[in-house]
Amino acid sequence: MDIGSFQGRLEALRVGAISDIGAAADLDALADVETRILGRKGELKSVMGGIGALPAEDRPKVGALANPVREAIESAIETRREVLGTAALEMRLLAEREDVTLPGRSLWRGGLHPIRETEREIARIFGQFGFVVVESPEVETDALNFEALNIPADHPARDLWDTIYVQPPTGTPEAPPDEEPRWLLRTHTSPGQIRAMRATEPPIRILTPGRCYRYEAVDASHGFEFFQVEGLMVDEDTSMGTLRGLLDAFAHAMFGAGRPTRFRPGYYPFTEPSVAFDIQCVVCDGSGCPACGRSGWMTILGAGMVHPVVLRNGGIDPERYQGFAFGMGTDRITMLRYAIRDIRAFLANDLRFLEGFPA
């Protein structure tokens, strides 16, 4: 064999290889071609094996002939590999394509607790009349929960509130300056009235929502832990008429326009006169049913003109200002809104119950 025919064999190998590489349909086929030609026992190896048959003076030229052939084949494989790789990726993308125009699967968004939702609705309605929400603590002093509200220690009206007394909380910032405070869990949100009057000057229009506690036997309509919303308005020109108009607007916004309402005489030591505010029964529309004790009416809150003693305890001059206050049971209002029969459902944390309310 001479160097010329050696070169011819290399050239034939190159041409065949380039065409096979171009014909490889996918990456696997290309890998086969690569092994067949460049592999350890491949065609290039076997052509090179013919080197021994060359005359000795021709052998040094072999490298100069073979290297460009090898490089040409390698670069053809590389190019083809890129082309096939991109095509494979595109095929995969087509096959795995997501239709982003399909409607998604909906997920429950979570919702407010029904008590919270009712508190917000109450705040929204009174907010339209300029009432703002303020906070008042659940751990309270006897002085604010009772004394400042015109309920002295020996007063029989204390029997209205079965009270849970507690150890003094540590680090409580607000122990009043007077004698050693007696601590309790507030039995109503009314101490919030005193705090609001002491914190600001009239005119005052506030709501204080929150938890209250009484030493109660728990049943379907009584919890030892329950919710109230207190309202207080103090100004130079407030009357029972203002109170009635405001409560009517509230009852109509909450329970439907046109629902009849009434005031009944009531008693609270911190208001004078005092009333119970009733709405016509939302179950029987007044004809009388078990839900309203066959009376046709349901009491939704207690109210009255703020007692002058209470105004004075709040640092307000009763000669110049009057005001009214009201306190409603948030649990009861929520039960009426959603026809819930058992107050215990609110704090039982049963998700099947809680998920039933609008988000």
Binding residues vs ligand PHE (CB under 6 A): 188, 190, 230, 268, 271, 302-304, 325-327
Name the residue nearer to ligand PHE (CB basis): 188 or 205.
188
Minimum distance of ligand PHE from residue 225's CB (angstroms) = 14
Minimum distance of ligand PHE from residue 359's CB (angstroms) = 31
Minimum distance of ligand PHE from residue 298's CB (angstroms) = 16
Name the residue nearer to ligand PHE (CB basis): 30 or 247.
247
Minimum distance of ligand PHE from residue 128's CB (angstroms) = 20
Q: Are 144 and 196 in contact (CB under 8 A)?
A: no
Minimum distance of ligand PHE from residue 301's CB (angstroms) = 7
Name the residue nearer to ligand PHE (CB basis): 17 or 232.
232
Minimum distance of ligand PHE from residue 180's CB (angstroms) = 25
Name the residue nearer to ligand PHE (CB basis): 72 or 218.
218
Name the residue nearer to ligand PHE (CB basis): 280 or 330.
330
Cα-trace Rg, the chain: 44
Name the residue nearer to ligand PHE (CB basis): 21 or 316.
316
Minimum distance of ligand PHE from residue 132's CB (angstroms) = 17
Question: For ligand PHE, which residue has the nearest CB?
Answer: 327
Name the residue nearer to ligand PHE (CB basis): 271 or 313.
271
Minimum distance of ligand PHE from residue 104's CB (angstroms) = 48
Q: Are 324 and 304 in contact (CB under 8 A)?
A: yes
SS (H, E, C) the chain: CCHHHHHHHHHHHHHHHHHHHHHCCCHHHHHHHHHHHHCCCCHHHHHHHHHHHCCHHHHHHHHHHHHHHHHHHHHHHHHHHHHHHHHHHHHHHHHCCCCCCCCCCCCCCCCCCHHHHHHHHHHHHHHCCCCEECCCCCEEEHHHHCHHHCCCCCCHHHHHCCCCEECCCCCCCCCCCCCCCCEEECCCCCHHHHHHHHHCCCCEEEEEEEEEECCCCCECCECCEEEEEEEEEEECCCCHHHHHHHHHHHHHHHHCCCCCEEEEEEEECCEEEEEEEEEECCCCCCCCCHHHCCCCEEEEEEEEEECHHHHHHCCCCCCCCEEEEEEEEHHHHHHHHHCCCCHHHHHCCCHHHHCCCCC
User: Which residues lie closer than 8 Å to 166 by C-beta, 6 or more apart?
Assistant: 139, 183, 184, 185
Name the residue nearer to ligand PHE (CB basis): 13 or 233.
233
Tokens linked to 95: 């096959």
Minimum distance of ligand PHE from residue 297's CB (angstroms) = 18
Q: Are 296 and 85 in contact (CB under 8 A)?
A: no
Q: Are 76 and 18 in contact (CB under 8 A)?
A: yes
Minimum distance of ligand PHE from residue 199's CB (angstroms) = 18
Name the residue nearer to ligand PHE (CB basis): 34 or 119.
119
Name the residue nearer to ligand PHE (CB basis): 21 or 303.
303
